[in-house]
Every structure is written in C-alpha cells, then in structure tokens.
Structure 1
Amino acid sequence: MEETNLISKKELLEITGISYGQLYRWKRKKLIPEQWFIKKSSFTGQETFFPKEEILSRIEKIKTFKDDISLDELANIFSPNLSNISLEKKDVSEQNIVSQSILNLYNNIYPKIEKFSFNELLFMTIVDKFLISGLISLEEGSLILNTLKENYENFDGRYCDVVLIRKLGVAMCFLMLIPNELYIESKASLVLKVNAGECTEDLKSKLSL
C-alpha cells in the first residue's frame, strides 16, 4: 500500500476525536480488523498506521451506530462469518458482483464450480480490477487467479497486495504482505498492483455485509 493511502495512529486520533482507549477497545471487540493495524519502522522506533479510507469510514460508521446498538451487534455487522457465504453463478451475475468477463474466465478454468465461496468471489473481484484496467490479457488474468487460489490462504486473513510484473513479455504474479516496498530490475516493469484488503471491503459492501 502506498504511503499516501496510510494514516498514522496519531493523525487518526486527532482527525476522528476518539481516544487511544476507544481505538483499542474497538479492536478487541473486532469492530476494527487486526490486519488494519500496520506496524512500520520510523525514526522514533515503530509506528502504527492504518489504511486511510477504510479506517476513517469504519470509525464514522461506529460513531454513527454505537448509541443505537451494542458493540457486539456492531461486530457481527462488520465481521460476519464469511465462511457461510455461498452464491450461485446466476446470483453473482444478476447482482453484478463481478463482470461477465471474469465470470466467463472463471467458468473456463473451473467449469464444475456452481456455487462461489467468499474467497472465490474475492479472487474474481481482484482479477476484475486487473481486467478493467485494460493493462492485462485474459491469459494473465488466469495467472493471477491461479496464484490467488494457490497462495492466498497462506496469509491467514492478513491484507496483501497482488502484484503483476512483466519482463520481456512474460508476466509474473505474486502476493506481498502490507506494508511493503517493491523494487524491480530495470528490464522488468510493474503492470499493476491491487490491494486485496480494499477489494475485500468493496465485496462486503456489494454483498451488504
């Protein structure tokens, strides 16, 4: 995630007007995901940063609803059991969860799958962002999809960036923990980097989770 997309804990508390105690209480209550607390080295030692748009939006929602429903009820809204989600192909298409292009691509690679889990929907959402950019081919989309299916669970819920680079016309895809810094050799070029955490929140919004 780029530095401009992060906000420090100090800035967050100043902007939102919440206290250190509130922030970490909401974390314990699972209103704010553990993976949003990003540790980075600084000249003072180590600082905590957050994905800026996601954390500001989440705190605004918490402040709006916390007087009407309990924190436990809020936690169920913000952190639903994603393992229970299963959507049929026709529902994904009718609800415009992802584009028809990625649905067709997924169907070509995995024709026997009739229902999609949350992770499968997330993988399609991520690849959709690559395809919509116009920077990749369908073959490269397949590469990204396979990379996600083979490796995403290794991150155990921690947010990562999905990166595609190209060298001499050959594409390579890999997943990187956030925060990260990417340096590539001069003969290779960065095609696109997509944040899986942002895609997760976008998907939850589409599914009204």
Structure 2
Amino acid sequence: MDENNLISKKELLDLMSISYGQLYRWKRKELIPEDWFIKKSSFTGQETFFPRDKVIDRIKKIKDLKDDASLDDLANLFSNKAAEIKLNYENLLSQNIVTSETLNICKELLPKIHELSFEEVLYMYVCDKFLLSGNISLDESKTLFNTLMKSYLNFNGKDFDVIFIRKMGVGFCILCSAKNKFYVEDSAKVVMNLNIGKCIEELKLKLK
C-alpha cells in the first residue's frame, strides 16, 4: 500500500460530506471492502485510513447511484461476482461493449458458441481496453485473452491486476493479486496495468 496515497477517516468524512454512520453502513452492506479499512498507529493512538483514490471514487459512485438503486443492488455492482447475462456476439456490438476488431480476434479463440458467459465478455472487454489504448498489438491481445481464459478462475472472485509487460520487443501478460507488489527488471517495461475489479464494475454498468 502506498503510504502517500492514504486518507484518514476524519479527512474522508469531511471531504465527501458523509457521516460516520453512512460510512459504516456501506461497509456492512459490502459497498466498501473490509480491506480498505486500514488500522494504523498515530500520535493519538490508532486511526483508520483508506486508499485515497479508490475510496473517493467509490463513494462518489455510491452517492451518484443510490437514488436509483438499492444498497443491495449497488453491493452486487461493486462485487467481483459474475452477473447473469444472455448475450451473443451481435449484442456486444449493438450495445457498444467491445469493438468489432476485438470481437473478431476473440471469436477465433472461443468455442463456436452463440451465448456468452459473463467471464468471456469480461475477457473481451479487458482486451478491448488494452487495444483501444494503443499500447498492445492485435497479436499481443491474443496473448492477453488466452491468459485471462486460462487463469481468471484461479483467483476465485478475488481482486487482481492485469499487467502487460514488454521486453526486447516481446510482450507478455501477468495477473497479479491487487494486494501484492511486483517488480520487473530494468530491460522490461510495464506497458499497461488494469484492475480487474474496476473493469467488472464498468462492464456491469454497461450491461445494466
């Protein structure tokens, strides 16, 4: 955890204009993850801190959406659990979930099916974000897609980062628990890093 990117509970309540009761109700409802509540020693005893960017972004979304959705619905939106969907390839294009370029690449790597699982749509969505960034090639997106297909379920719904690294012109993908730090050698470059939890949240909003 980056010590410079933490915000205290008092600062958070003041900044976001929310009460102690609201914050802990959202925690009980699992809108704010337990592991974002970080206990640290301070000159006044023990104080609670949060990852600044994540918690501020989450509270903004809760405040924006809470009038149109129940807290249970929001908890489902923010969780890493798969959504129940019934989509085919044509739906992905008509709903602007992925581009045709990404869809054509991924179709080559999937079984010849018409109805897609949430996980398969997620793999395509992540690949699309990488491709649209201009940071990876079409061939590298296949490596990314295959890595997600083979390893995504190993995380059992836990949060992780999708990291693409290039060394001497050769690209490769790793999936790393969001809590863990990673290091690369000097001759390798981290091309792009996406958090899977944030991608799941974005995709659920698109599918809503």
Interval of TM-score (by shorter of Structure 1 and Structure 2): 0.7 to 0.9
1:28 is matched with which residue? 28
Deviations 1:18-46 (A, max 9, x none): 2333222222223x1537x4366867588
Gaps of 5+ in 1: none
Cα pair distance change 1:197/1:133, threshold 3 Å: same
Q: Superposed, which structure 2 residues align to 1:42-121 within 5 Å?
A: 44=42, 47-49=49-51, 51-52=54-55, 54-61=57-64, 65=67, 73-79=70-76, 82-121=82-121
Gaps of 5+ in 2: none
Q: Which of 1 and 2 has higher RCO (CA within 8 Å, sep 6+)? A: 1
* 1:176 aligned counterpart, secondary structure: strand
TM-score relative to the length of structure 1 = 0.79
**Structure 2 CA distance, aligned partners of 1:9 and 1:58?**
20
Amino acid across the alignment from 1:8: I
Match status 1:138 vs 2:138: yes
* 1:86 aligned counterpart, secondary structure: coil
Give the deviation of 1:103 after TM superposition.
Answer: 0.7
Moved more, 108-117 or 80-89: 80-89
Identity %: 38
RMSD after superposition: 3.0
Q: How many residue pairs get matched?
A: 199
Give the deviation of 1:108 after TM superposition.
Answer: 0.8
* 1:164 aligned counterpart, secondary structure: strand
* 2:142 aligned counterpart, secondary structure: helix
TM-score relative to the length of structure 2 = 0.80
Preserved contact between residue 40 and residue 179 of structure 1 (Cα < 8 Å) = no
